[in-house]
Amino acid sequence: MVLKNGYKKIILSIVSIFRKIKVKFRLMISFLILSIVPLVFLGFFSYNLSKNSIETKIEMYSKQIIEQAENNLYSELEKHNSYSIEISNSKDVQDMLKTINESTEEYEKYKANSDLRDVISRRLATLKSVSFGSIFIEDEMIHYSVNNNLNKYLIENKEMIEEIAESGGGKPIWISIEYDDSYHLINIRKINNISTNKKLGYIIIGLRNERFLDVYRNINLGEGADLFIVDSKGRYISNREMKGLGKLHGDKDFINRIFKEDGTISNTFDYDGYMVSYKYIEGTDWILVGKIPFSYINKEANGIRTSVFFFISICIIFSILFSYFISISISFPLGNMEKLINKAKEGNLIYSIEDDSRDEIGDVIRGFNHMIENIRKLILEVSDLSQKVINHSILVNNSSEQSKISSRQISEVMNQVAVGASDQAENLANGVGSINILADDINKVEEDMKFVAETANGTKKLSQNSLNVVKALNEKASQTSSASDRVIKNITNLSKDMEQIVKITKTISTIADQTNLLSLNASIEAAKAGEAGRGFSVVANEVKKLADQSKESSKEIKFIIDDILNKTSDTTKVAHNANKFMEEQMNIVKETDSSLRSIYESMESLMERVNNVSQSIKSALDSKENVLDSIENISAISEETASIAEEVSATTQEQVASSEELSKLSKYLDEMSKKLNESISVFKVN
């Protein structure tokens, strides 16, 4: 019980504080708190939620893009690794290097050197991504290159090249060098004898920076974003501007941050207003780095924040206005009622408030007005009675004259009523003409609505035809996609067949070598036979020529097939890209189909509204006939009114006779007037 009383006191004390504030301000404050606080909370919550969601998705997408770009770069490096491995392990190259290293015949070494240069030229000439190719043999370099200065630099730094190649243990090693104000990416690999594993030399293949850049040039990480490659020392390996290659990255703290990520091969972190994603390129000490500014990431979120703030501001203004009008709708009638009560308390019964509202305050005001009106009527009745008594004698004295004057006035009024009735009948006739014009306009609108309905129906049929066309286009796109898949499959099978042909050409080359060896043995045996073996020697020489021709032809076939394989690979990529384009086209066709269906549904809704308008016009035409009937009825009533006015004019003559009776009451009315005036003098009713 004590707790209950204490709680009640606290509530009453709080209520008393609020009671010290005007009702208008209490309502405004409470409405603003109830409307603004949830809006502000919801706005900030929505902004933070959308911001975090956008950042998370962009972080995930950027990481996936960086990983995909790294895979593409690794594939490009692996492709050039395969070139060096293929050349190094080629039997021809192995034999030529063995001859150069071991032969004592200068001619054989010269010929092997020349043939080796031709092999390198043939293998690398068709590869647009290769900038140069060289093979180190002791102090000699056999090269295919357009940059003699670079070859000179490599010879001068032979020990460095050998150290790098030896560290790879026979595997290709990628390094970057700066020479003659240019930057070069080179692949170094030690060449070992396949049979004895003895070192034969070193092969160096250069990769064009432009080709390396093409792999990731068109990757778009967003406005203001950057994508580049650095090595483990923080030097630029590649960037989109092709500037500063070989130089250290300007922000040491940024590079150190990457290397402090606990050796992870890929990661994402925030740095100086950027979201940074990086990944090590497999097989190298190079790192692919992507920087995306948070200004781009948060662009949409900031737009949402601005919209939320604008919406909240509009809601605050609306809430203030709404609460102001609500408070005014309560405080203003209460203030008027307070004035009404004070006036009534002072005896002023003529003051009243007009309030048509339907709330409780309006009911109270109307009830109070009704009470004051009843009191006022009572006082007025008394006042009227007193005034009649006061003026009774005068009325009696002047009753005759007033009766005459009243009769004349009534007669004039009746004449005016008759004239007004005639004018009213004429105006009604004009109204009938206006209504007929309105009916004609409505008929024109009805014809226009019929045209609109026909147009909407035609648009609806056109939308249906468009849907059929989109459906046919979708079927054709599916057929084209299937055809593209068959092309890819046929190209893959062709590539496999080419590989079989390569094996056959290798077999032919081997047979040619053996045939050449047999012809040499036959020539030796023919020489031993002397004159008897001369014919056999001629045959052996012809066989040797045929063997040499077969070997050369097999080399040319292999060179042509390698070129076909490269073109087949490019064709396969193009076909895959075409397949992707077809998928995008099919998605666009689906979106077009959805849009046309929306148009078709909108046309159906429009047809329904047009039908509703037509029904409304028909209803208006029907109402026109009712209005004409009503006007005719009013015209008849006006004629009756004129007739009645004439009868009233005749009746006024009879009132003159009644004026004589009023003189008898004059004395009695004079006495009553004095008493009544004394009774009602305290009230103000006029």
DSSP secondary structure of 519-558:
HHHHHHHHHHHGGGGHHHHHHHHHHHHHHHHHHHHHHHHH
pLDDT at position 680 is 61
pLDDT at position 668 is 61
Output 281 or 674, whichever has higher pLDDT. 281
Output 269 or 606, whichever has higher pLDDT. 269
pLDDT at position 20 is 59
Residues 58, 292 contacting (CB under 8 angstroms): yes
In 180-235, DSSP assigns E strands to: 182-192, 199-207, 226-230
- Please give the C-alpha separations between residue 265 and each of 105, 260, 270, 283, in angstroms, as whole numbers: 52, 12, 17, 12
pLDDT at position 656 is 47
pLDDT at position 341 is 76
Q: How confident is the model at residue 57 (pLDDT cuts 50, 70, 90)?
A: confident
Domain ranges of the chain: 57-302, 371-680
pLDDT at position 661 is 58
**Which residue reads 């939320």 in tokens?**
308
Average confidence score pLDDT of the chain: 72
Q: Is the pLDDT of residue 590 over 70?
A: yes
Reduce the DSSP state of residue 218 to 3 states and report it.
coil
Q: How confident is the model at residue 600 (pLDDT cuts 50, 70, 90)?
A: low
Q: Report the distance separating Cα 550 and Cα 320, nearest Å.
A: 99
Q: Report the distance separating Cα 131 and Cα 500, nearest Å.
A: 30
Q: How confident is the model at residue 620 (pLDDT cuts 50, 70, 90)?
A: low
In 374-481, DSSP assigns E strands to: none
Q: Is the pLDDT of residue 397 over 60?
A: no
pLDDT at position 306 is 77
Per-residue pLDDT reduced to its tens digit, 535-560: 667 776 777 777 677 677 777 777 77
pLDDT at position 487 is 67
Q: Is the pLDDT of residue 655 over 60?
A: no
Over range 646-657, report the average pLDDT.
Answer: 59
Output 664 or 52, whichever has higher pLDDT. 52
Q: Report the distance separating Cα 100 and Cα 623, nearest Å.
A: 115
Per-residue pLDDT reduced to its tens digit, 13-41: 665 665 556 666 666 677 677 767 777 77
The domain 57-302 is placed in CATH, from the list 3.60.150.10, 3.40.630.10, 3.40.50.10490, 3.30.450.220, at: 3.30.450.220
Over range 197-208, report the average pLDDT.
Answer: 84
Over range 35-56, report the average pLDDT.
Answer: 72
Per-residue pLDDT reduced to its tens digit, 285-320: 888 888 888 777 777 767 777 777 787 778 777 777
Q: Enumerate residues 6+ apart whose C-beta is below 8 A from 373.
A: 352
**Which span out of 78-92, 431-445, 460-474 was modeled with the highest average pLDDT?**
78-92
Output 75 or 380, whichever has higher pLDDT. 75
Q: Is the pLDDT of residue 589 over 80?
A: no
Assigned architecture for domain 371-680: Orthogonal Bundle (1.10)
Per-residue pLDDT reduced to its tens digit, 312-357: 778 777 777 776 777 676 767 777 777 777 777 666 667 677 767 6
Over range 234-250, report the average pLDDT.
Answer: 77
Per-residue pLDDT reduced to its tens digit, 495-538: 677 677 777 777 777 776 777 777 777 777 767 776 766 666 77
* Residue type for position 562: D
**Which residue reads 């590989």 in tokens?**
499
**Which span out of 46-60, 229-243, 455-469 was modeled with the highest average pLDDT?**
229-243
Q: Is the pLDDT of residue 84 over 80?
A: yes
Q: Please state which of the ranges 53-62, 222-231, 436-445 shows the lowest mean pLDDT.
A: 436-445
Q: Is the pLDDT of residue 579 over 70?
A: no
Does this model's pTM top 0.75? My answer is no
Q: How confident is the model at residue 122 (pLDDT cuts 50, 70, 90)?
A: confident
Q: Is the pLDDT of residue 420 over 80?
A: no
Give me the torsion for CA of 522, 525, 531, 534, rounded to 10°: 10
pLDDT at position 617 is 66
Which of 553, 558, 561 is CA-nearest to residue 494?
561
**Which span out of 72-81, 144-153, 401-410, 574-583 was modeled with the highest average pLDDT?**
72-81
Residues 615, 445 contacting (CB under 8 angstroms): no
Q: How confident is the model at residue 469 (pLDDT cuts 50, 70, 90)?
A: low
Over range 676-680, report the average pLDDT.
Answer: 62
* Residue type for position 277: S
pLDDT at position 163 is 84
Over range 92-111, report the average pLDDT.
Answer: 84
